[in-house]
A = this chain, B = another copy of it.
């Protein structure tokens, strides 16, 4: 793989930015990687572990001479960052982002960017429950989708070049309309996260009653929810506030179906339950076939150990 961009500026140094740095280095895709983060502590850690070729103190500084700028900050912080970097962007540079919501990012960032700068919003469908500059790893995007949502009128060559970068990072890249993206993600990611947060919150309330048992005996089911619910609070707050309509729409459908199942439990309608549970099995098989998860039992997870070393 050859160099796609001479200088890549990463604004924000969390899980996604860090993984991009590792993945770009793995394939030699960037001439130089410049990074910055708002927190001095984050910048210090990034310097210490050599995450980028150069760490600078401000976003304005980071974008100077960069032909690719990647906004890796929470969706709620995008507008301010765009405003800060706008005067310093190089002619012909491409600005992209990795936010989980696309319509609001387009509206927050687009108006600030000067003529002659390309804006190609993006969203890698990959992540873990960890965050911060130490959490990244080169393989995060391998065989995962990255969706690009270029607004109408975007230079196709700029989109194509960014696509090549993501493919070099291991991803499968597709283009999609921003609104459609936000609806699909409300189903596959945003609403499930909200539900997981809620369930963990309920358990936490109950924990005061049952002491530590809820944690101690958290077998499959709840345990998987807690992993989801351990994700970065700021990022997720911004996701829900900025993808409000689609999330509320899917939540409405969810509540409707949940009430139907609740009623089946209350009235003892076993046939309804059995038919519903049988139907949901099929969608899981589809996911295995689409190659987006492993078929190994329990995700191939090793048994936990009492000492937490597992």
Chain A contributes a number of interface residues (CB within 8 A of B) equal to: 121
Q: Are A189 and B274 in contact (CB under 8 A)?
A: no
- Which single residue of chain B is at the shortest CB-CB distance from A216? B290
Chain B residues with Cβ under 8 A from A170's Cβ? 303
Main SS of chain A's interface residues? helix
Q: How many copies does the complex hold?
A: 2
- Which single residue of chain B is at the shortest CB-CB distance from A183? B210
A193 to B280, CA, bound (A): 12
Q: Are B144 and A219 in contact (CB under 8 A)?
A: yes
Q: Are A234 and B287 in contact (CB under 8 A)?
A: no
- A199-B191, A284-B227 known; A219 vs B125 contact (CB < 8 Å): yes
Chain B residues with Cβ under 8 A from A154's Cβ? none
Chain B residues with Cβ under 8 A from A281's Cβ? 229-230, 233
Q: Are A280 and B230 in contact (CB under 8 A)?
A: yes
Q: Interface-forming stretch among A1-9, A52-60, A161-169, A258-266?
A: A258-266
Chain B residues with Cβ under 8 A from A223's Cβ? 188, 287, 292-293
Chain B residues with Cβ under 8 A from A153's Cβ? none
Binding site for B on A (CB under 8 A): 76, 125-130, 135, 137, 139, 142-145, 147, 170, 172, 180, 183-185, 187-207, 210, 212-231, 233-234, 236-238, 240-241, 244, 247-248, 250-251, 253-255, 257-258, 261-262, 265-266, 268, 270, 273-274, 276-295, 297-308, 310
